[in-house]
């Protein structure tokens, strides 16, 4: 872990500051509006950390009934003229913990709160920010960017805060943009809180499935002025777990909408973030979710159903089998005729789900060796993912007609 103090006199802080102000506001505008204006294929379901930058939440929302936890620790070495080496010699490290707890209340709707301790902005020690996020437009893998709307209350600022965020992916490059409004912005101590508007833009470059570089910049464009906020991070997906991790540097100690919109002058915090999805309460048995384990919706077979038993209309049934192994769906692109039943067989030592991105249907947790079936009775494109491992994504394209060509009828298509 790199730790160092940044004071106003440090040379390393000065150039960044200057560069930020010169071009960043223009970049910010671009980053906000490009995602909203451009339509490209291959946008994917966002994943914590790997698909976003340290100070931007993106448009991702956790699945219904999932609990999602993020913790970020940001450190600052304080003292007089101290450097990182002084941590062994009397300099003090101050930690600025922040965390987020979110719950999937409805499909595409999360409620939760963010907490930031030792907030440099609040004046007081803590910021609490209860919020709700609506994933208004989810990425569909071939259409428009995703959009999310967040409404929040910042208890320290006594402010109603809103954010409209968008996100899009061009292959390895992901772009994030956000517009934020605050009814009472934290200000630089002098004046009373006034309304403010802020913009934020970020980018993520995927290096491998498990590694990405990300950064963002944010600043107020109306209302009380403040320093630009920035962050940079090495984003890491921990293989074979649903967890992600980030090593980050930023000039923001708070994780709230307001906190991430204003930089703390002359300070660089170094830290890390860790994300913990509680992937479906089914994992926890009857303690949290008595309904789980019995069929909760007509469309989803209960886990113990002998799915491989031949159905009554076996002769008419068309089944395509897909394995799940190595934390991948065997085929990420599958094309089948209408009426096909797709059967997923879990060959991994860990449980997965097959969950429609649009929330129309989902499997329960499919344990090792278990299977799940879903019949596609209408044509269209169906994106799905694994709830515990959101980077597991695939698509089924369902087309009219059968692939064993039937004799053409006059009105056949
Ligand atoms: Cu999985």
Domains of the chain, residue spans = 13-278, 301-399
Instruction: Give me the sign of the Cα torsion angle 29, 157, 136, 331.
Output: positive
Q: Distance from the CA of 84 to the center of ligand 1, in angstroms? A: 40
How many Cβ atoms from other residues are within 10 Å of residue 7's Cβ?
A: 13
Q: List beta partners, residue 99.
A: 71, 115
Q: Are strands 109-117 and 92-106 parallel, antiparallel or unpaired?
A: antiparallel
Average pLDDT along the chain: 76
Residues in a beta bridge with 109 = 106, 134
Tokens of 411: 């009105």
Q: What is the distance in A from the centroid of ligand 1 to the CA of 291?
A: 21
Q: How far apart are the CA of 390 and the centre of ligand 1, in A?
A: 7
Q: What is the DSSP letter of 362?
A: B
Judge whether 147 and 6 are in contact, CB under 8 Å: no
Q: How many A from CA of 154 to the centre of ligand 1?
A: 35
Which residue(s) pair with 134 in the sheet? 109, 149
User: Which pLDDT score is estimated for 412?
Assistant: 34
CA–centroid distance, 348 to ligand 1, in Å, is 9
Identify the pLDDT of residue 276.
85
- Of residues 22 and 347, more confidently modeled: 347
Does residue 399 have a pLDDT over 80? yes
Going 73 to 74 to 80 to 84, the CA torsion angle's sign is positive
Please give the distance, rounded to the nearest whole angstrom, from the Cα atom of residue 325 to the centre of ligand 1: 9
Beta carbons of 103 and 112 less than 8 angstroms apart: yes
Q: Which residues, including other chains, have CB under 8 Å from residue 94's CB and lie 6 or more apart?
A: 75, 76, 77, 78, 118
CB burial of residue 12 (10 Å; 0-12, 13-18, 19+): exposed
State the distance from the centre of ligand 1 to the C-alpha of 382, rounded, in angstroms. Answer: 17
State the pLDDT at residue 30.
43
**Alpha-carbon gap, residue 175 to 48, rounded angstroms:** 14
The alpha carbon of 148 and the centre of ligand 1 are apart by a number of angstroms equal to 24
Determine the topology of domain 301-399 in CATH.
Immunoglobulin-like (2.60.40)
Q: Tell me what pLDDT residue 144 has.
A: 62
Determine the average pLDDT of the residues in 28-43: 36
Cα 70 from chain centroid?
11
Sheet (strand 371-375) strand order: 328-329, 318-325, 340-346, 371-375
How many angstroms does the Cα of residue 202 sit away from the middle of ligand 1? Answer: 27
Please give the distance, rounded to the nearest whole angstrom, from the Cα atom of residue 242 to the centre of ligand 1. 8
Cα 352 to averaged position of ligand 1 atoms, centre (Å)? 4
Residue with tokens 């490209």: 40
Q: Report the DSSP pairing between strands 146-154 and 126-137.
A: antiparallel
Measure 367 CA to ligand 1 centroid, in angstroms.
10
What spacing in Å lies between the alpha carbon of 47 and ligand 1's midpoint?
13
Other CB atoms within 10 A of residue 139 CB: 25
What pLDDT score does 29 carry?
A: 45
Residue 158 pLDDT > 70: yes
Report which of 340, 338, 369, 374 is spatially closest to residue 356, judged by C-alpha positions: 374
Please state the rounded mean pLDDT for residues 234-252. Answer: 88
Pull the structure tokens for residue 383: 């994106």
State residue 375's pLDDT score: 93
- The Å distance, Cα 274 to ligand 1 centre, comes to 19
- Tell me, in angstroms, the distance from the centre of ligand 1 to residue 99's CA: 25
* Torsion angles phi and psi, residue 34, rounded to 5: -60, -50
- Helix and strand numbers (H, E) in the chain are 1, 20
Burial of 153 (0-12, 13-18, 19+ CB in 10 A): middle
The rounded Å distance from CA 385 to ligand 1 centre is 8
CA of 110 relative to ligand 1 center, distance in Å: 21
The alpha carbon of 169 and the centre of ligand 1 are apart by a number of angstroms equal to 22
pTM over 0.85? The answer is: no
Q: What pLDDT is attached to residue 12?
A: 37
How far, in Å, is the centroid of ligand 1 from the Cα of 341? 20
Residues 263-314: tens digit of each pLDDT: 988 889 999 999 887 754 444 444 444 343 333 333 333 344 344 444 444 4
The Cα 23–Cα 272 span in angstroms is 27
Pairing of strands 229-237, 146-154: unpaired
Q: Given this model, what pLDDT does residue 140 score?
A: 59
Q: How far is the CA of 412 from the centre of ligand 1 (A)?
A: 40
User: Which numeric CATH code is attached to 13-278?
Assistant: 2.40.160.40
Give Cβ neighbours of residue 93 (< 8 Å, ≥ 6 apart). Answer: 3, 75, 76, 77, 78, 87
- The DSSP secondary structure of 94-113, one letter per residue, reads EEEEEEEEEEEEETTEEEEE
25 CA to centre of ligand 1 in angstroms: 40
Measure 387 CA to ligand 1 centroid, in angstroms. 6
Q: How far is the CA of 257 from the centre of ligand 1 (A)?
A: 31
Give the total residue count for the chain: 413
Beta-carbon contacts of 114 under 8 Å, excluding residues fewer than 6 positions away, are 98, 99, 100, 127, 128, 129, 131, 152, 255, 256
Q: Does 13-278 match 301-399 in CATH topology?
A: no
């Amino acid at each position: 872990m790199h730790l160092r103090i940044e004071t106003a006199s440090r040379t390393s802080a000065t150039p960044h500051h200057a560069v930020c102000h010169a071009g960043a506001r223009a970049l910010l505008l671009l980053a906000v509006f490009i995602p909203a204006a451009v339509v490209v294929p291959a946008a994917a379901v966002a994943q914590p950390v790997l698909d976003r930058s340290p100070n931007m939440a993106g448009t991702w929302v956790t699945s219904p009934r999932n609990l999602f936890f993020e913790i970020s620790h940001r450190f600052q070495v304080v003292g007089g003229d101290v450097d990182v080496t002084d941590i062994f010699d009397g300099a003090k490290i101050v930690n600025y913990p922040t965390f987020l707890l979110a719950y999937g209340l409805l499909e595409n709707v999360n409620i939760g709160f963010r907490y930031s301790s030792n907030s440099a902005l609040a004046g007081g020690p803590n910021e609490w920010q209860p919020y709700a996020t609506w994933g208004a437009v989810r990425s569909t893998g071939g259409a428009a960017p995703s959009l999310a709307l967040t409404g929040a209350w910042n208890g320290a600022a006594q402010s109603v805060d809103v954010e409209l965020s968008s996100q899009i992916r061009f292959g390895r490059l992901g772009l994030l943009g956000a517009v934020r409004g605050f009814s009472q912005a934290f200000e630089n101590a002098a004046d009373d809180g006034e309304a403010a508007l802020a913009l934020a833009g970020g980018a993520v470059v995927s290096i491998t499935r498990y590694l990405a570089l990300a950064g963002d910049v944010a600043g107020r464009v109306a209302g009380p002025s403040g320093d630009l906020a920035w962050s940079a991070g090495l984003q890491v997906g921990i293989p074979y777990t649903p967890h992600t991790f980030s090593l980050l540097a930023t000039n923001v100690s708070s994780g709230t909408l307001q906190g991430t919109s204003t930089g703390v002058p002359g300070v660089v915090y170094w830290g890390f973030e860790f994300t913990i999805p509680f992937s479906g309460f089914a994992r926890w048995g009857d303690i949290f979710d008595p309904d789980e384990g019995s069929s909760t919706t007509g469309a989803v077979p209960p886990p113990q159903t002998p799915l491989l038993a031949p159905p009554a209309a076996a002769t008419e049934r068309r089944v395509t089998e897909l394995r799940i192994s190595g934390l991948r769906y065997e085929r990420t692109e599958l094309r089948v005729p209408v009426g096909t039943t797709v059967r997923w067989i879990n060959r991994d030592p860990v449980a997965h789900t097959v969950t429609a991105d649009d929330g129309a249907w989902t499997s329960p947790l499919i344990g090792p060796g278990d299977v799940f079936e879903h019949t596609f009775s209408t044509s269209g494109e169906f994106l799905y993912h694994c709830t515990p491992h959101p980077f597991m994504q695939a698509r089924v394209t369902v087309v009219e007609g059968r692939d064993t060509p039937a004799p053409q009828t006059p009105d056949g298509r």
